Amino acid sequence: WTKLYLAHHWPVTVCKMSANDCQDPPEYWTIHGLWPDKTEECNRTWHFNVTEIKDLMSDMRHYWPDVLHSSLNRTQFWKHEWEKHGTCAATLQVLNSQKKYFGKALELYQHVDLNSFLLKAGIKPSSSYYQMAAIKEALTRFYSVMPKIQCLPPEE
């Protein structure tokens, strides 16, 4: 792989799209994942072990919450992200453990600070709709990247 994508999602929308009954989803952008652009050389036998990220748990619960699973099973989302994406990212030495992978995602999330940027750009949670082009233009101008934005459901 050649680059990583830091994927965010809006938990309220995640909950609306699911049959699960979410309890008080956060009203701020949270981490969906840290994804290599290609899924090559992934070690799919490297299973998730929550004890490896115990030092990160407070930040994980806040910035990378699993709103779809019950409080008894809140590590399912992280397990999925590690086994699908983390085991691929781990080919890079700075991401070659669960603690490094999740820690780097948390670090990038704080650095990018999407929530603050969008508020400064006048894009805030409301019943109003925003033009996709305006959001993309603001993100491109500020971060110097071409963002990928996906509205769910697509017709909205």
Catalytic residue flag (residue 62): no
Q: Which of 32, 83, 111, 155 is catalytic?
A: 32
pLDDT score at 150: 87
pLDDT score at 68: 87
Considering the four listed CATH numbers 3.30.470.20, 3.90.730.10, 3.30.1130.10, 3.90.105.20, the one that applies to the domain covering 4-112 is 3.90.730.10
Rounded mean pLDDT for each run of 10 residues along the chain, 156 residues in total: 95 85 89 95 96 97 90 87 98 98 99 97 89 93 93 65
Q: Report the alpha-carbon distance of residue 115 to residue 117 in Å, rounded.
A: 6
Q: Which of 9, 69, 80, 81 is catalytic?
A: 81
Residue with tokens 């999602």, as numbered in its chain: 9
Q: Report the alpha-carbon distance of residue 41 to residue 38 in Å, rounded.
A: 9
Catalytic residue flag (residue 81): yes
Query: Sign (positive/negative) of CA torsion 64, 55, 87, 76?
Result: negative
The model's pTM: 0.92
Catalytic residue flag (residue 32): yes
Q: Are 112 and 144 in contact (CB under 8 A)?
A: no
Instruction: Give residue limits of the domains in the chain.
Output: 4-112
